[in-house]
Structures are given as structure tokens and as C-alpha cells.
Amino acid sequence: MTRGRIIGAVVVAAIVGIALLFGLSVEPAFAFGWAALAGVLVLCAQLGVPDDPRSDAPHVPDSPERRGTAVSRMAWSLNPRTGAAGELITRRVRGILSHRLRRLGLDTDDSQHSATIDEVVGSGLWSRLVEPGTNRNDIERALDAIDRLSPSKEKQ
């Protein structure tokens, strides 16, 4: 606050107070209260609102170098002490396995294909991935099944 702005607020408060007290014949306590409010409003109107600190922040595009963060989040989804697998990694592995099974014409949502799915990926593995309580061994078995269903070029 500069001295000029404060003096301006005091002048506005004095003018409002005198106008209410003598011009409208209001009680002195009310005139003083409204004058003080007018002065505070003038001071508040002169305050500068700071800019949003994010307005000049650089934009960081998604790039192949930043994809490691998804892998690290999935790694943190595994609990090394209990062996429990979190929903993030279970959902990702389940999605990839479902995609590979669809390539073979097997629908994971169709109950008629459940016996065939168990033969292809392993007994009870798909039900372990869908139900709560998936553990690290289930994830490893599912990753092995994914590799078997679509081997990479190096393995061929």
C-alpha cells in the first residue's frame, strides 16, 4: 500500500461519513460504520490479485522417455511383503491377456469359453485375475501365458 492509496481511502470514508451524517441525517454510529466500510472497500479494490503461478509453466508432453513412470507405478502396485498384486497391475495384465485371447477367438466374458480359456492360459488363472486377491504368482503365470500366446520375434 502506498501513502496515496491510504489517503484516498480515508478521503472516501470521510466523504461517505459526512454525507450520511449531515445529508441523510443517519445516527452517528451508523454513519461511522458505513464510512469505515467504504474506506475498507476502497483499500480492498486497490489490492492486486496475484497471477496464477501455473500460467507460465512449461508444458511437458508425453514422450517415450516418460513412459517409465507407468511401469514404476505398476511395480509399486506389487506388495513384496505379502505378495498381493494391486488393481493397477492386475487390470493391465488382464487387459493384455484378454486381447491375446480374443486373437484366438476366445471371449473372456462368455461362460462357454471358460473351459477353453483355462486350457490355454492355465487352470483357474483367469478367475484369479478377475476376482479380488490376485497375487504375484498369478501375475507371473499370466505374463507367461501372454508370452506363450504371442511370442516375440526373438523367441521364434
Residue 121 near residue 101 (C-beta atoms within 8 A): yes
pLDDT tens series, the chain, 156 aa: 688 889 999 999 999 999 999 998 899 999 999 999 999 999 998 887 776 666 666 666 666 655 556 666 777 778 888 889 888 889 989 999 999 998 888 988 888 988 999 899 988 899 999 998 899 999 999 999 988 887 655 554
Q: CA-CA-CA-CA torsion for 106, 111, 112, 116, nearest 10 degrees? A: 50
Q: pTM of the predicted model, to two decimals?
A: 0.52
